[in-house]
Amino acid sequence: MKTRPEIPCEVCGYPRTFLAGLQWCSNCGWNRQTALSRLRLRSRIMAGVAACIVIGEAFLLRTIPRMGIFYLPLAGFLAAAVAIIPYREYLSLQRTSPVANNCPSPEVVASKLQRLKPQLRTSALLLLVLASVTDIGLFLAPGPWVDRIYSVGMLVAIVFFGRVLVMERRIAASYASTLARIVRFERRGRRGRTAIYEYEPPAGIPMTAKGSSLAAFSVGMTVPVLYNALSPDQSLPVPDFIFYRIGVEPPE
């Protein structure tokens, strides 16, 4: 289980805990019951998957004994891991109990939002520069044009991430933070979905935008966003940043 201090609980301001696409607060118990029920369901499904692995291995041992014996250690390890890990995650949450009273603390949440600070990920920037230099070298290298198809595809990806960097840079250069609320979801492909969130800058005009990494959230949940104070319609949820790490400055 991983806590993220840059995403405070909307009730008490304690860092939210994330696991398997779920989130809850181990301090006040926010969203704990929902996460517990989904982890229980996940544990049962994975136990069924483990049973299928055992049945498949038994069938293989009966029909092709030599191959079945060869895959027996791997099948046993996979079945145990698939069954035990989700069950232990469910038990770990079940055995914990909230340690604080479930009372709203908007002051704590507001205090954490004021201490959010974007920091450039040097490694991500260097990776983009390295990919750009390599792609230009491959594109300019002598040879048939067919060999440049890969370079063109890579160039499209570099341009895309370059635009992401420019947008993140604009927000980080003059940023302000606030809590946004997820109002609905839009379908993306057959199984994917994109969250539509709403936030209100100091000007008082509600703004809506899309968050690509908020599929695990639910309607009504809140998430911290950074927006451009000079152009409030430009915003990104904290989990969406690629080239910037959003940290929480310690109080003075």
pLDDT tens-digit map of 97-156:
776 555 556 667 777 777 888 999 998 999 899 888 888 887 777 777 766 677 788 889
Predicted structure pTM score? 0.68
The model's pLDDT over 33-62, given as tens digits with 9 standing for 90+, comes to 888 998 999 999 999 999 999 999 899 889
Cα–Cα distance, 177 to 246 (Å, whole number): 11
* CB atoms closer than 10 angstroms to residue 58: 12
Per-residue confidence (pLDDT) for residue 131, from 0 to 100: 87
How confident is the model at residue 27, as a pLDDT?
A: 83
Q: How far apart are CA 38 and CA 49, in angstroms?
A: 16
Q: Percentage of the chain with pLDDT > 90?
A: 31
> Using CA atoms, how far apart are residues 56 and 75, in angstroms rounded to an integer?
9
Helix extents (H) in the chain: 32-63, 65-95, 106-114, 122-140, 149-173
- Measured in whole angstroms, how far is the alpha carbon of residue 217 from the centre of its chain? 10
State pLDDT tens for residues 67-91.
Answer: 888 888 888 999 999 999 999 989 9
